Structures are given as structure tokens and as C-alpha cells.
């Protein structure tokens, strides 16, 4: 059974500092997805990582995938208030996605 673990589950960030969220998964998969969810809203796709070593960047966020270690990281550079949200990783299991519990990010001034 595929299990997806994110840590930390809650992250209080200071503006301007760098942070990393980790996503570990238990069985082999070559596809991993990152989503963002604002309070009371739906999920928005951030990154699609489709192979070992894949790296994607958008603004202050960068995601990477190491399929051998079964690990993806979401790196935040110089956090700003607009990044406050819940971030989910999801791993493909036969064209179904298994989600982590989510990481709540809060950026404080």
C-alpha cells in the first residue's frame, strides 16, 4: 500500500527566509505532483514531476524529485506573505493519486 508522508505538517515562516518541505513515499512511482490550497478553496496544480531528477521552478518555489530515495522536496526561497497556504504532494499509483496530509505554511512579518 502506497503511503505518502509530508513533513513538517505545519511551518511558521519568517518573511525573507528559506524553507523546505519534504514528501516521502513508500513504494516506487515515477510521477509526483504538488498542489496548493488556499483556505476554503480548491486545489491548484503547482508542479508536475515526471522522472527521476526532475526539477521545476516557479517564482520563489522549486520542486525536485528523487525516485530512488522516494523523496520530493519543495523549496521556498525568501518567503513572502502570499505563499501562506496548505501544500500537498501527491504520488501516482496506477493513474490514481495518493495525497500526503498537507503542510500548512504561515508567513509572518
Is the peptide bond preceding residue 72 cis, with omega within 30 degrees of 0?
no
Residue 37 pairs in a beta bridge with 43, 86
Nearest to 6 by CA among 43, 32, 44: 32
Nearer to other proteins, 43 or 80 (CB): 43
CB of 95 to other proteins, least distance (A): 6
Residue pair 37/86 in contact (Cβ under 8 Å)? The answer is: yes
CB of 15 to other proteins, least distance (A): 26
> What do you get for the CA distance between the two ends of the chain, in Å?
41
CB of 80 to other proteins, least distance (A): 25
Q: Write out the residues near other proteins by the rule CB under 8 A.
A: 4, 9, 31, 33, 41-43, 45, 48, 50, 88, 90, 92, 95-102
Nearer to other proteins, 42 or 109 (CB): 42
Amino acid at each position: 500500500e502506497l503511503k505518502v508522508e509530508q513533513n513538517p505538517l505545519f511551518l511558521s515562516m519568517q518573511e525573507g527566509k528559506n524553507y523546505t518541505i519534504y514528501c516521502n513515499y513508500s513504494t516506487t512511482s515515477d510521477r509526483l505532483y504538488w498542489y496548493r490550497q488556499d483556505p476554503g478553496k480548491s486545489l491548484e496544480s503547482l508542479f508536475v514531476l515526471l522522472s527521476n531528477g526532475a526539477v521545476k521552478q516557479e517564482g520563489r518555489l522549486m520542486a525536485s524529485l528523487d525516485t530512488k530515495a522516494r523523496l520530493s522536496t519543495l523549496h521556498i526561497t525568501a518567503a513572502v506573505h502570499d505563499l501562506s497556504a496548505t501544500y500537498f504532494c501527491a504520488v501516482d499509483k496506477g493513474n490514481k493519486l495518493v495525497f500526503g496530509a498537507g503542510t500548512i505554511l504561515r508567513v509572518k512579518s
